[in-house]
């Protein structure tokens, strides 16, 4: 079964502690945390409040048996100093290790297009992150890469492959085809970290997206994110999370399993 993950951006501005409390009983077993690279999360992880949130969240993860898939994000805009105290990326790595995350996500600062910075420069920057992430047992992922742009998928692979990093495939539930997903997964393969979906697009697509991820390898996690870190507030977020889990689970359902389910087997 694919690991199913909710990113904190889905419930923004609710904090990670609230999200962790919400997950048990909704079907989601993991979360993704935004701990760097954005001003709106800074107050959760700095100063005295940051120390308290760190201790409380670690304890809460153990109590609820919720796991952390990834922490993000590191902005690659120049050489990365090896400093886990003062450097912003160092704190992301440190928190990721403390939360038991598997991945740390990263993106390149503007110019973001491949033409704006040479492949060699991007390989070097990403390689620095990979080297510094290794002692924390974190694998860096370049994110997000649109699943329907094989040229960008290949470009991302060229950047991450030398340091054995990976990438996040961004799937638009309302417009992507199953064939496009299969092609991108096959191309990325060992470099594929996880697949990301937009909560709003999943809701818009509804049952029309059933089976879209049916051939996704079972070891590849599926993460649900918000749009531009802006969650859709709901009076009952638990109900919304359960409904979203049903929709994503049906996206992963093979047609033969769906036939069996509908037949009451």
Q: Note the pLDDT tens digit of each residue in 79-136.
A: 888 766 656 888 899 999 999 999 999 999 875 455 578 999 999 999 999 999 999 9
Q: Note the pLDDT tens digit of each residue in 207-216.
A: 999 999 999 9
DSSP class of 117: S
Query: Where does residue 224 rank: exposed (0-12), middle (13-18), buried (19+ CB within 10 A)?
Result: buried
Please name the helix (run of DSSP H) or strand (run of DSSP E) that holds residue 108, with its range, or none.
Answer: strand 103-108
* Least confident stretch, 27-41, 192-206, 241-255: 27-41
* Least confident stretch, 104-113, 170-179, 200-209: 104-113
pLDDT top residue among 245 and 46: 245
CATH of 4-262, one of 3.30.1330.10, 3.20.20.150, 3.90.600.10, 1.10.3720.10: 3.20.20.150
Report the share of the chain in percent with pLDDT over 90.
Answer: 68
Compute the C-alpha angle 138/141/146, nearest 5°: 160
For residue 265, the model assigns a pLDDT of 64
Tokens of 12: 């923004």
Q: Note the pLDDT tens digit of each residue in 20-30.
A: 999 999 999 99
* Least confident stretch, 53-62, 102-111, 151-160, 201-210: 102-111
DSSP class of 190: G
- Say whether 31 sits in a helix, a strand or coil: strand
Please name the helix (run of DSSP H) or strand (run of DSSP E) that holds residue 72, with its range, or none.
Answer: strand 67-76
Decide if pLDDT at 48 tops 90: no
pLDDT average, residue stretch 195-224: 95
Q: Supply the mean pLDDT for the chain.
A: 90
For residue 45, the model assigns a pLDDT of 82
For residue 87, the model assigns a pLDDT of 66
For residue 190, the model assigns a pLDDT of 96
Report the share of the chain in percent with pLDDT over 70.
Answer: 91
Q: In Å, how far are 2, 83, 221 from 252, measured between CA atoms?
A: 8, 41, 11
Q: What is the pLDDT confidence band of residue 41, given thresholds at 50, 70 and 90? A: confident
For residue 86, the model assigns a pLDDT of 57
pTM to 2 decimal places: 0.91
Decide if pLDDT at 162 tops 60: yes
Decide if pLDDT at 7 tops 90: yes
Decide if pLDDT at 172 tops 70: yes
For residue 230, the model assigns a pLDDT of 57
Residue length, the chain? 265
């Amino acid at each position: 079964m694919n690991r199913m993950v909710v990113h904190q951006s889905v419930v923004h501005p609710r904090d990670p502690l609230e999200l962790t409390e919400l997950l048990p009983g909704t079907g989601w077993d993991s979360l993704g945390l935004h701990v760097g690279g954005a001003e709106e999360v800074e107050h959760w992880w700095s100063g005295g409040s940051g120390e308290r949130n760190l201790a409380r969240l670690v304890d809460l993860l153990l109590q609820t048996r919720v796991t952390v898939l990834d922490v993000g994000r590191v902005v690659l805009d120049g050489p990365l100093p090896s400093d886990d105290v003062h450097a912003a990326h160092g704190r992301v790595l440190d928190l990721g290790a403390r939360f038991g995350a598997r991945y740390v996500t990263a993106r390149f600062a503007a110019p973001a297009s491949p033409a704006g910075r040479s492949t060699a420069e991007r390989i070097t920057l990403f390689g620095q992150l990979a080297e510094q992430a290794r002692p924390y047992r974190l694998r860096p992922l370049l994110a997000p890469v649109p699943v329907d742009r094989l040229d960008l998928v290949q470009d991302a692979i060229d950047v991450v492959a030398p340091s054995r990093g990976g990438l996040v495939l961004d799937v638009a539930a309302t417009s992507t085809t199953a064939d496009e997903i299969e092609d991108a997964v096959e191309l990325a393969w060992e470099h594929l970290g996880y697949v990301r979906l937009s909560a709003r697009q999943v809701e818009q697509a509804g049952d029309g997206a059933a089976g879209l991820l049916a051939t996704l390898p079972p070891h590849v996690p599926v993460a649900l994110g918000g749009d531009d870190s802006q969650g859709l507030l709901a009076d009952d977020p638990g109900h919304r999370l359960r409904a979203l889990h049903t929709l994503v689970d049906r996206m992963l359902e093979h047609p033969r399993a769906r036939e069996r389910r509908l037949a009451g087997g």
